[in-house]
Amino acid sequence: MLNIQSKLPGIGTTIFSVMSKLAAEHNAINLSQGFPDYPCDPKLTELVSKAMKDGFNQYAPMPGNPFLKETIAEKVEKLYRVKYNPDTEITITAGGTQAIFTALAAIINPGDEVIIFEPAYDCYAPTIKLLGGQVKTYELAPPNYDIDWDMVKKLFTSNTRMIILNSPQNPTGSILSEEDMKLLIKLVSGTDILILSDEVYEHLVYDEQKHTSVMLFPELKKRSFVIASFGKLLHATGWKLGYCLAPEPLTKEFRKVHQFNVFSVNSPMQQAIADYIKEPGNYSGIATFFEKKRDFFRGLLAESRFELLPCKGSYFQCASYSKISDEKDTDFSIRLIKEFGVATIPVSAFYQKATDHKIIRFCFAKENLTLESAAKKLKNV
């Protein structure tokens, strides 16, 4: 028997694979893993065929297709009135996950501390640990998951290297406000603390609120890696393409890792995405589209015994089942699949200590018919 010393002892298979597999095995409606169950725009797939026919079939330049980087720079400037240089500050990645991994790998040395807010997207903590970093956790409390920045300050030590933000937040659907950003600026100004701002749901902000990106604040922009994902923007999570925006000194470090991590990413898709997002009309309706789905799904669940938490952004709706059962959320989710035919994500999976507030997460990026069929089953719970 080989003695393999695991670098991640105690880490099993990600909850998204576990729940999607269980959903398939039990023929349950899958509202667990976050992905649309409807096709992406056929215009987009046609543009991929065109790019292939046009010869975009060899390696793209290491930092990304120049046309795509320029198009992103234009999009960002139009949306946020902020400039990123496409040559030195934008890198195209194999999705948000690779961008997060690469940014962390570029920065985190053994012993460095990284502050994360839990419940947190599940790749942050294992990646930090893999790199020898220390995870410093701030646990947010339902139903609003607000951040008390004075408490965050208490986590600071001389080893604090980075803070990871995620707004809109997966799984809670909460968003950071301008006030949050101002308080954060007070904490980090005059320090060398960097920020990784996971903004993959930047377009999915509801109720006439605006996405408050770190890039809107120069004190934050200068120290931030901003992560985006085309999977969310284009309803095509399987394409695994995204990007990282960061000031030149940070991008330099990012690319040192990126070039040996993937070198460059899917070439015809980069060209197709650039052609597609060049036309803002192709994505400008996305917030309204998902807001309608949120309202539709919340309306359906209003007739159930689940208590809905606020959802200000993302395509996730959290709900408490504490009036239904006192089972552990993992047990409850499994029972929902087996007995009621609906797959969800137990929110304890987003806490390292498996903190269980009896809350589960639904993904509503689904056809209305899917949401209706799921709600019908959920009303029986």
211 binding partner (options ligand GLN, ligand PMP, none; Cβ < 5 to 8 Å by kind): none
Interacting span for ligand PMP (CB under 6 A) from 101-109, 185-193, 236-244, 366-374: 236-244
Tell which positions 30-59 bind ligand PMP, by CB under 6 A.
34
**To the nearest whole angstrom, how small is the minimum distance from the Cβ of residue 31 to ligand GLN?**
10
Nearer Cβ to ligand GLN, position 80 or 239? 239
Position among 30, 33, 65, 102 found at the interface with ligand GLN (CB under 6 A)? 33
> 221: buried, middle or exposed (CB in 10 Å: 19+, 13-18, 0-12)?
buried
Q: Which residues fall within 8 angstroms of residue 270, CB to CB, at 6 or more apart?
A: 56, 60, 64, 65, 68, 92, 241
- Angle formed by the axes of helices 267-277 and 42-53, to 10°? 130
* C-alpha to C-alpha distance for 226 and 280, rounded to whole angstroms: 20
* C-alpha to C-alpha distance for 163 and 110, rounded to whole angstroms: 16
**To the nearest whole angstrom, how small is the minimum distance from the Cβ of residue 105 to ligand GLN?**
18
Number of residues that bind ligand GLN (CB under 6 A): 5
The verdict on 119 binding ligand PMP (CB under 6 A) reads: no
> Could you tell me the two tokens for 237?
């999570």
Position among 176, 200, 226, 363 found at the interface with ligand PMP (CB under 6 A)? 200
Residue whose structure tokens are 């197709």:
272
* C-alpha to C-alpha distance for 322 and 327, rounded to whole angstroms: 9
**To the nearest whole angstrom, how small is the minimum distance from the Cβ of residue 314 to ligand GLN?**
9
Nearer Cβ to ligand PMP, position 97 or 264? 97
The verdict on 167 binding ligand PMP (CB under 6 A) reads: no
The verdict on 336 binding ligand PMP (CB under 6 A) reads: no
Nearer Cβ to ligand GLN, position 181 or 241? 241
The verdict on 346 binding ligand GLN (CB under 6 A) reads: no
DSSP string, 160-221: EEEEEEESSPTTT-----HHHHHHHHHHHTTS--EEEEE-TTTT-B-TT-----GGGSHHHH
Q: What are the E-state strand segments in the chain?
A: 29-30, 90-93, 113-118, 134-139, 160-166, 194-198, 224-229, 242-245, 307-308, 316-320, 342-343, 345-346, 359-363
Helix (H) or strand (E) holding 289: helix 286-301
The verdict on 237 binding ligand PMP (CB under 6 A) reads: yes
Nearer Cβ to ligand PMP, position 194 or 300? 194
* C-alpha to C-alpha distance for 300 and 280, rounded to whole angstroms: 32
Specify the amino acid at residue 288: T
Interacting span for ligand PMP (CB under 6 A) from 130-138, 208-216, 234-242, 244-252: 234-242
242 binding partner (options ligand PMP, ligand GLN, none; Cβ < 5 to 8 Å by kind): ligand PMP
Tell which positions 153-192 bind ligand GLN, by CB under 6 A.
170
86 binding partner (options ligand PMP, ligand GLN, none; Cβ < 5 to 8 Å by kind): none
Q: Which residues fall within 8 angstroms of residue 217, CB to CB, at 6 or more apart?
A: 181, 182, 185
The verdict on 86 binding ligand PMP (CB under 6 A) reads: no
Positions that interact with ligand GLN (CB under 6 A) = 14, 16, 33-34, 170
Interacting residues toward ligand PMP by CB under 6 A: 34, 95-97, 121, 166, 170, 198, 200, 229, 231, 237, 240, 242
